[in-house]
């Protein structure tokens, strides 16, 4: 009898130990199971992040660089998203090419080099096609015609053309055609180098004019008009004095993308 009950106890303890072991293993494995279970559940339930990720996985990414602050071509909207004509254009091109557009906000002065170095696939930022830039990158067919204009404060009476800028302080965005125009005027002897103030962002150029840090701004006309519309207190002088065409910058080696983008532009036009 005693032997039997000891055996029973032994079997009972063994069974208990085995059960504890199984449960123990189960509980350590459980989080892993739940995690993987969660994943399938999420994608099945249509988690938007995961879905976007999966789509991006399928589609090749078209990485675009821009400089948001050039209204109406690129700017940050109320949701702090990069928005504007250039983004819509690039979205359409990407959709025609069956690619997923990603947009990076960068300094304007660094865009051409970033394309050249392959950091980004394209730069779309109201970029004027110039001989100098064509030495570093290719450009798509032009998609917009613009030109530089002079902006002054509304109460300014002493400036009615380029010649009147002599001896005055002029603001431009660094690395833009407005900046290069100033270089030419410095070479021609109209400006002194120290009279030109260069700012990294368009917004800063207009702030400098508003606060009296500079007397005039040289800027792409459509952008100047939009800033004046939005902020008031400023006016343009004498219409446009350059003729420029905007193009999409693409690395020289990327011939196929250049052709695809030009074909897409034709389709969109």
Which residues of the chain form contacts with ligand ARG (CB under 6 A)? 67, 69-70, 74, 108, 125-128, 173, 176-177, 202, 220, 244
Q: What residues are paired with 62 via a beta bridge?
A: 101
Min separation Cβ 127 and ligand ARG, Å: 4
The crossing angle, in degrees rounded to 10, of helices 202-210 and 221-231 is 50
Min separation Cβ 244 and ligand ARG, Å: 6
Q: Do the beta carbons of residue 153 and residue 208 sit within 8 Å?
A: no
Nearer to ligand ARG, 74 or 215 (CB): 74
Three-state secondary structure call for residue 196: strand
Taking the C-alpha atoms of residue 111 and residue 109, their distance in angstroms, rounded to an integer, is 6
Nearer to ligand ARG, 93 or 111 (CB): 111
Min separation Cβ 267 and ligand ARG, Å: 24
Min separation Cβ 61 and ligand ARG, Å: 21
Taking the C-alpha atoms of residue 205 and residue 200, their distance in angstroms, rounded to an integer, is 8
Our separate counts of H helices and E strands in the chain read 9, 14
Nearer to ligand ARG, 125 or 170 (CB): 125
Min separation Cβ 177 and ligand ARG, Å: 4
Nearer to ligand ARG, 70 or 191 (CB): 70
Kindly report the number of other CB atoms within 10 A of residue 47's CB atom. Answer: 14
From the centroid of its chain, how far is CA 32? 39
Nearer to ligand ARG, 108 or 143 (CB): 108
């Amino acid at each position: 009898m005693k032997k039997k009950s000891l055996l029973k106890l032994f079997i009972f303890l063994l069974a208990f130990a085995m059960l504890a072991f199984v449960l123990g293993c189960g509980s350590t494995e459980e989080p892993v199971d739940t995690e993987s279970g969660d994943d399938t559940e999420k994608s099945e339930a249509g988690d938007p992040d995961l879905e976007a990720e999966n789509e991006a996985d399928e589609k090749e990414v078209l990485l675009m660089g821009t400089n948001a602050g050039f209204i109406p071509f690129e700017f940050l909207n109320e949701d702090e998203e990069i928005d504007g004509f250039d983004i819509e254009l690039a979205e359409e091109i990407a959709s025609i090419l069956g690619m997923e557009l990603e947009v990076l906000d960068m300094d304007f002065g660094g865009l051409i080099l970033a394309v050249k170095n392959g950091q980004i696939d394209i730069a779309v930022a109201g970029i004027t096609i110039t001989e100098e830039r064509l030495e570093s990158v290719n450009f798509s067919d032009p998609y917009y015609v613009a030109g530089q204009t002079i902006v002054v404060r509304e109460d300014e009476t002493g400036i009615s053309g380029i010649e009147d800028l002599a001896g005055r302080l002029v603001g431009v965005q660094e690395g833009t055609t407005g900046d290069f125009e100033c270089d030419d005027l410095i070479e021609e002897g109209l400006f002194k180098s120290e009279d030109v103030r260069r700012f990294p962002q368009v917004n800063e150029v207009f702030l400098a004019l508003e606060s009296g840090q500079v007397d005039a701004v040289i800027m792409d006309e459509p952008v100047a008009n939009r800033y004046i519309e939005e902020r008031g207190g400023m006016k343009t002088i004498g219409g446009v004095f350059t003729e420029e065409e905007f193009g999409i910058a693409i690395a020289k080696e990327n011939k196929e993308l250049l052709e695809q983008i030009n074909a897409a532009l034709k389709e969109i036009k």
